[in-house]
Amino acid sequence: MANQVIATKDFFAVVDERQSIRKYDANITISKEELRNILETASKAPSAWNLQHWHFFVIHGKEAQRRLLPIAYNQQQIVDASAVIAVLGDLEANRNTDTVYEPLVKAGYMTNEVKETLAQQIAVAYENKQYARDAALSNASLAAMQLMLAATAKGWGTCPIGGFDAEKFVAEFQVPSRYIPVMLITIGKSSAPAHRSTRLPVEAITTWVEK
């Protein structure tokens, strides 16, 4: 019981501490191993059919970050941050079907019949291009939020950025057509307090349906 209390308290502390950091100490570096650990946690986010509709482009190093700077409308945080992670949505996540389910079948956690049923459902869904796009955006966003919480838990600041030219990003970094840019996330150590913000009351954002 004590462990459960600590875990719950730690989670809510992380949620309360997470803020959008826009000013970073440009002298602070982050290792590839630390980034990899954060991404590993982010990749445990839920996704439709467990297809894991995300891909991470890690812009790590001042030279690479300077290439990104004009694409992100010259926001200084792009080059001052220790790294920038571009979260991409997978428009062809259906191609992950066998990779995701085969190990489960081999381990005896899923029958081949169930796997084939799921594969058929996925194939039908992905005949609809709009569904594929919507699924890429929504599921990659789940991973993005988990990434920011993981970074906060490890003492790093982050900021999600929607203000960038997606087409120029794709061209500059030669992103395969399979992926669609969802957002950029800067990560680093804050050099100034985050802007104060408020949240709407729960009553303003909630509708209860009880009958």
> CA angle at residue 36 from 32 to 39, to 5 degrees?
140
Please give the model's pTM, rounded to 2 decimal places: 0.92
CATH number of 19-194: 3.40.109.10
> Any residues with CB less than 8 A from the CB of 110 and at least 6 apart, and which?
101, 104
Tens digit of pLDDT at every position of the chain (211 positions): 344 333 345 888 999 899 999 999 999 999 999 999 999 999 999 999 999 999 999 999 999 999 999 999 999 999 999 999 999 999 999 999 999 999 999 999 999 999 999 999 999 999 999 999 999 999 999 999 999 999 999 999 999 999 999 999 999 999 999 999 999 999 999 988 888 888 899 999 999 999 9
Domain boundaries, the chain: 19-194
The strand pairing partners of 59, in sequence order, are 84
Q: What is the pairing mode between strands 157-161 and 83-90? A: unpaired
Residues 159 and 127 sit within 8 Å (Cβ to Cβ): no
